[in-house]
Amino acid sequence: MNARSWLIRLYPRAWRQRYGEEFEALLEECLCSPLDILDILLGALDAHLELAHETNWRMMNVVNKLRTTIWMVFAGYIGFVIGGLSLYGLVDDSPAAPLMKTDPSLFAAWRAVQIGSAISLLAVVAGGLPLAYTVTRRALTSSRRDLRLLLVPVAAFLAFMLYGVLLASIANGWLQIPGVAQRVSPDNFPTGNRLLLGGLMLVFVLGAIASTAAVWKILSNTEEEESTLAFLGYKASVKLYEFAYPPAVIAALGMLLMLVATLTFGWLAYSALPGWFAGNYGLLLTNTTVSFGITLTIMILSTALAFFGVRRGYPAWKSPIRL
């Protein structure tokens, strides 16, 4: 079995019966690089998620790529949020926090992180509003499956908030648990506290993964349609995925800004506070350098995922086959 036949067999049987011949001809033209193979693997995942509603392969390919782009940028953004929270946890109550008040360069780098965060958040909200409106409307009127999927991010957020309330109750002395200290320090960090804080991280990460999976499934159920939105008194007819692509690009650029600013912040902080990086002031009081390195790795992978999604969706967004 050659590579093209193997790649075709990754797609559902009904899909192969409908598009197999045209898709095989397309593979002969465009199967030139590892990125093409990755693109085809993502297309197979799209097909298994029942995205193949269109009657024309090329039209379906455009829609699938735009849908997957939106998901990849969203997934990258969620990953970056995890990395960003890790960074804030690392810097909060650290020697770098008071130093930012007197060091203009360090302050500027940190402010750039905040600006990038705001840009990405606003872009994700702006691009997601039409999709959220359409999905919510359909969930409330006809699709109970989508309504259940919409509850996944809500449940994840509530679980995280309840866990936070538990930790706040312990920190304020309202709740006492054997083996858990009300206050911790590098010299007094009981195993119970480590487990509780680790549990908080686990709840957030699992909630983020579940929410991202739910969003992907919701997108797979969302047929391309024109949706009339009433927002601030204006009505706009938008094509959902075409509309969401430019904000996705802006969100990815915001992540890149945060990544560069974080690298700059780390370099400046290391130059000014080498002892902080050599100590155990990271998450769960692990080594600061290791903790910062893990944070950077998460940010780099998340940014790469978002930009790969943007690159993958650009030809579809510019395609002469209009949605």
Q: Quote the percentage of the chain above a pLDDT of 90.
A: 24
Task: Return mean pLDDT, the chain.
Answer: 79
Alpha carbon dihedral 94, 96, 102, 103, in 10-degree steps, equals 180
Residue-wise pLDDT for 128-178, tens only, equals: 888 777 777 776 776 667 777 778 888 988 998 998 898 888 888 888 888
More confident residue, 89 or 297: 297
Is a pLDDT exceeding 50 seen at residue 271? yes
Q: Where are the domains of the chain?
A: 49-317
> What is the pLDDT, as a whole number, of residue 233?
42
Q: Give pTM, 2 decimals.
A: 0.76
Residue-wise pLDDT for 63-81, tens only, equals: 777 877 888 898 899 999 9
More confident residue, 18 or 156: 156
More confident residue, 256 or 280: 256
More confident residue, 19 or 166: 166
Residue-wise pLDDT for 76-102, tens only, equals: 999 999 899 889 888 887 888 889 988
Residue-wise pLDDT for 213-269, tens only, equals: 887 777 666 554 444 444 444 344 447 788 889 999 999 999 999 999 999 999 999
> What is the pLDDT, as a whole number, of residue 29?
64
> What is the pLDDT, as a whole number, of residue 55?
47
Is a pLDDT exceeding 90 seen at residue 4? no
More confident residue, 16 or 46: 16
> What is the pLDDT, as a whole number, of residue 52?
43
Question: Any idea which of 55-59, 257-261, 272-276, 310-314 has the lowest mean pLDDT?
Answer: 55-59
Is a pLDDT exceeding 60 seen at residue 196? yes
> What is the pLDDT, as a whole number, of residue 152?
86
